[in-house]
Structure 1
Amino acid sequence: MPIARFSPFELLLLKSRNQADTAGLLLLAWVLASKGHLSEADRQRLTDLARDFRHGHELEPVIEIAAQQDLGAIQLAAEVMQKDCGGEQAHPFLRQAITLAVADGKLTSAHHHILRFLADLLGVSPPKFAMLFTEVAGKEFTNPDDPSRTGYWQAKERHRQQQEDRQRQHQRSHDRQSHERRSSGQQHRQHSGAGGSQRQHRQHSTQEPPPGDRTQRALAILGLEPGASRSDIRKAYRRLAQLHHPDRFFAEGEAMVASASQRFQKIKKAYEYLMEAS
């Protein structure tokens, strides 16, 4: 008969004095590791908490599994916790998870999703969890910005346009100052050369650089050929939106969510442009 092979976390559960405590430690380590790394301060926080857990094994394997973002082990730990801990019994554990999530002062979007997942897993209602969070963190548990909302990207676009406007204003001011310095020479050159320089400056200011072929760029983003139908555009958008939606990457850290959000925005803009143009 083939020999059964156990994963590292399954072996820890087999050796554990209390499987729910071992599962809880892994989930708490997951909260810490969701930042993308485990610092020495994070390890010390987890070590301090582990003294009150009845696990009976070394803590380092738990930290290694969490650092690897082993979703299979995390899912198994969640199932063990769900069986043995729920409702008000889960409140102490959730308080510990909240404490670790806000230890650095900022609640990341990954932490937000993980805390909501743990509360739902353990049967704690959103209002009750929000109260627990306020008690522990001293502030409200607010929803993070949702990259799938149109308003999220409209705010991003307004911010980008404001930055570009400030840059243009700064450039115009710099151009004027440069022109004034060049025109401070001889009187004849000031009158004869400044007019041409000013005309050049006005022409330069009013002429926008020739735009690229936006349709070609939008088609390339969606992986389509020229002449694609509206149906082709919709199908390509749905496929790519599902593949690159930021919610798929929350467990991989905030940097991955931000990167996915940028890709998702490009896909969405390309789709909207092609649908309007077709």
Structure 2
Amino acid sequence: MTIARFSPFELLLLKSRHQADTAALLLLAWVLANRGPIGEPERSRLTELTGGFRHGHALAPILEIAATQDLGAIQLAAEVLQKEIHGEQAAPFLRLAIALAVEDGKLSMANQHVLRFLADLLGVSPGEFAPLFEAVAGRAFADPDDPSRSGYWQAKEHRRRQREQESQRQDDRQHSRSHSGREGSHRRKEEESKWQQAGGREQHRQERYRQEQHRQHERGARQDPPPGDRTRRALAVLGLEPGASRSEIRHAYRRLAQAHHPDRFFNAGEAVMASASQRFQRIRRAYDYLMQVS
């Protein structure tokens, strides 16, 4: 006879004096983990806020599970807690979660999603959660940016370019100050000659760039794929064969959109979310095109 193997969190639930408190403790530790590494100050704060819990076991195993982002354990904890509290009964727990999420003065993107998940899990509507958050945090709860929107990444790129431009302007000012004390007509003439030569090279470079862009544009115009090729590529993106029906196209899109939506990867970092966003946009464009031509 084989012996059933329990996960670390399942063993804690079996030992717990109050399973709902154990589940709540893991979800609160999950909030802490989404703020960053859990050190002694975070551990002490969690102990302080949950002093009235009746779980009856050590805190260390809970923190270890939360630090590994064990989604199986988190899902089980959510199911246990959902059976015990709902609606108005959820307010005390949500206040604790909010207090931990904003303890360091800021709310991470991950915890924006976590708090929305916990409120929805416990039957608290966005309209009910917003004043609860404001009462605890002292500020309004703003919806997180949607990484599946192209505008989200365009805004991030715009801010990056602004920082680079400001850094370049500071370098230029520093360079200008370092040369302001230099005098002498020979030096000025030498500098003017260098700038003229550099200007000529830059003008030549720009002209070559314009010519190359024009050639690329002409090649692109000649190589534009016929509509049939675009249709086949769009079908391939959705994993479909030529001749697929509108119903098959819709079914394939829903399946792929659910698998690749960036919201599924908010805990994996911005690079992974960016990659997921690009895949999602490619799937969406293929679907929109096929629904227009089919």
Shorter-chain TM-score category?
0.7 to 0.9
Q: Deviations over 1:97-151 (max 9, x none)?
A: 0000001111111101111111111111111111110000000010111111132
User: Are the equivalent residues in 2 in contact too, given 1:98–1:136 (CA < 8 A)?
Assistant: yes
Q: 1:206 to 1:144 in 2, by over 3 A?
A: farther
User: Are the equivalent residues in 2 in contact too, given 1:18–1:54 (CA < 8 A)?
Assistant: yes
Confirm whether residue 259 of structure 1 aligns to residue 249 of structure 2: no
Q: 1:177 to 1:28 in 2, by over 3 A?
A: closer
SS in 1 for 2:269: helix
Question: Partners of 1:128 and 1:158 in 2: how far apart?
Answer: 35
Confirm whether residue 232 of structure 1 aligns to residue 233 of structure 2: yes
Structure 1 residue 164: deviation in Å? 6.0
Answer 1 or 2: higher relative contact order, Cα 8 Å, separation at least 6.
1
Aligned residue number for residue 76 of structure 1: 76
| Stretch moving more, 153-162 or 133-142 | 153-162
Aligned residue number for residue 221 of structure 1: none
How many residue pairs get aligned? The number is 260
Question: Partners of 1:188 and 1:57 in 2: how far apart?
Answer: 81
Structure 1 residue 199: deviation in Å? 2.5
> Structure 1: which 5+ runs fail to align?
215-226
Question: Partners of 1:90 and 1:199 in 2: how far apart?
Answer: 71
Confirm whether residue 248 of structure 1 aligns to residue 259 of structure 2: no
Structure 1 residue 153: deviation in Å? 2.9
Question: Partners of 2:195 and 2:73 in 1: how far apart?
Answer: 73
Aligned residue number for residue 45 of structure 1: 45
Q: 1:185 to 1:70 in 2, by over 3 A?
A: same
> Structure 2: which 5+ runs fail to align?
218-227, 239-252, 290-294
Confirm whether residue 148 of structure 1 aligns to residue 138 of structure 2: no
Aligned residue number for residue 243 of structure 2: none
Q: Deviations over 1:166-202 (max 9, x none)?
A: 6777888899999998x95279878877754542343
SS in 2 for 1:185: helix
State TM-score, norm by structure 1: 0.74
User: Are the equivalent residues in 2 in contact too, given 1:246–1:257 (CA < 8 A)?
Assistant: no
Question: Partners of 1:194 and 1:123 in 2: how far apart?
Answer: 68
User: Are the equivalent residues in 2 in contact too, given 1:246–1:258 (CA < 8 A)?
Assistant: no
Q: 1:167 to 1:266 in 2, by over 3 A?
A: farther
Q: 1:185 to 1:85 in 2, by over 3 A?
A: same
Residues 176-255 of structure 1 correspond to what in structure 2 (within 5 A)? Answer: 184-185=185-186, 195-204=196-205, 207-208=208-209, 229-233=230-234, 235-236=236-237, 245-250=261-266, 252=267
Question: Partners of 1:261 and 1:153 in 2: how far apart?
Answer: 10
Q: 1:198 to 1:56 in 2, by over 3 A?
A: closer
State TM-score, norm by structure 2: 0.71
Structure 1 residue 33: deviation in Å? 1.1
Residues 1-20 of structure 1 correspond to what in structure 2 (within 5 A)? Answer: 1-20=1-20
Q: Deviations over 1:201-237 (max 9, x none)?
A: 43346654967x89xxxxxxxxxxxx97443256438
Residues 126-141 of structure 1 correspond to what in structure 2 (within 5 A)? Answer: 126-141=126-141
